[in-house]
Amino acid sequence: MTFCVAAKVDSGLVALADTRIVKGNEQSSKGKVAHVNHSEGNLFFMTSGLRSVRDKTSIYFEASLAEKQKGEICHLFEAANLFGECLRRVKQEDGASLAAANFSFNLHAVIGGKFSGDETPSLFYIYPQGNWVEATSDAPYHMIGQTSYGKPILDRLLGPTCSLPETLALLFLAFDGTRASVTDVDFPIDCVVLDGASGVMNRQRFALADLQETTHWWTNTLKTALASFPLEWSKDLFKP
């Protein structure tokens, strides 16, 4: 399975993706997020679903984007449209054969970035049909893959005024909560930060050893909070 999440806040974009690949009894690590530079700006995209569909769509998309002349694509939504076109092309080519082998054409993607015509960075969720929805101030993140376990902390605490470091912390906690509950989401993780003011995009991979101290701190913080949890409302339940 997969865990990929990206958020749009006032100061920019933050994304995080795990690298765990499970095939039968085999496990391996492979990146699920790509960084693409273009003459009009740069973007990242991440995917969940069949790896073969992901790789073919990615090749088509990056090749098509590279063929675009300066000025042809000035907004990120145009790049999202192009990704959707490439995804539909792959479905037309491979959908029937995949269905015959009982595989679902289930590629979901998240694409984020900032192009020359964009006043602020943009973030889109692309469905297997090639259509998309945009992240907004009241729905600031998109998550694909294992989505159930990471949503609560994001829905409770993530908002447009969060700083980039705060946003990264929340995305990591969403990942860590998912990792604690399932076996097919795990380290290493790839993190991407796009500063909205400068347009600079940075990417780094982290192993478990890099964040072991952080995960221990979070566990101990939760234990401390539990020990001081206000339970006056339930005191009658514990009477002898």
Mean per-residue pLDDT, 219-234 = 97
Q: What's residue 25's pLDDT?
A: 67
- Phi, psi (5° rounding) for residue 33? -125, 135
| Per-residue pLDDT at 139 | 97
Give the residue-averaged pLDDT of 71-86.
96
Report d(CA 143, CA 108) in Å as an integer.
10
CA distance 22 to 57: 20
pLDDT tens profile 137-164: 999 999 999 999 999 999 999 999 999 9
pLDDT digits (tens, 9 = 90+) for 2-20: 999 999 999 999 999 999 9
Average pLDDT over residues 49-67: 95
Q: Residue length, the chain?
A: 240
Q: What is the mean pLDDT of the chain?
A: 95
Candidates 116, 130, 111, 134; CA nearest to 38 is 116
Report, as an integer, the average pLDDT of 212-224: 97
Cβ atoms < 10 Å from Cβ of 53: 22
Q: What's the pLDDT score for residue 30?
A: 86
Determine the average pLDDT of the residues in 131-141: 97
